Amino acid sequence: MGTAMFYHLTRHPLEQTLAMLLGKAGQAGWRVLVRGTEPARMDWLDQQLWLGPQDSFQPHGLAGGPHDALQPVLLATGEGPAANGATCVMTVDGAPVSAEEVSALERVCILFDGNDPAAVNTARGQWKTLKDAGVSAQYWSEESGRWEKKAET
């Protein structure tokens, strides 16, 4: 049974936090699906991951290409199983995640912008839904300047 980990971004931008988490997932040997809600936003994240520091580069691709199954990190929109056989899903921009999905995966990371009230409300709703379904969840905050676990179900 997996764990949903909520990351409340207040100090670092999404692309920086995502790159850090992708690095940790890669070290764990996980294949990752990054799920968003808008294709244009996923294109932007794709570009940001290419532009990051060379020492933190994560091989990745946008869903819909001929080599989706080979990608260690696949950026996509929509729900359902990942073409790359992901064992970890990272959601951005309020992309959906279900209790069944969390239970079937090693990890689900839900990244949300703490400076956007709508994003915070969406994350609160996702937390409540997963908690009510009995899913293991953790809430992480970078408010102090480093990531700290603030709550756990």
Which residue segment(s) compose the domain that 89 sits in? 6-62+71-96+109-142
Domains of the chain: total: 1
For 64, half-sphere exposure in the C-beta direction (CA atoms, 13 angstrom radius) is 8
Dihedral angle, C-alpha 84, 87, 93, 99, nearest 10 °: 130
Q: Coil, strand, or helix at residue 48?
A: helix
Instruction: Say which CATH number the domain at 40 has.
Output: 3.40.50.10110
pLDDT digits (tens, 9 = 90+) for 73-123: 999 998 877 899 999 999 999 999 999 999 999 999 999 999 999 999 999
Binned at pLDDT 50, 70 and 90, residue 35 comes out as very high
Q: 150 lies in a domain?
A: no
pLDDT attached to residue 82: 86
Distance CA 27, CA 23 (A): 6
In a domain, 56, yes or no: yes
Please name the residues in contact with 144: beta carbons below 8 A apart, sequence gap of 6 or more: none
Burial class of residue 118, CB neighbours in 10 A (0-12, 13-18, 19+): exposed
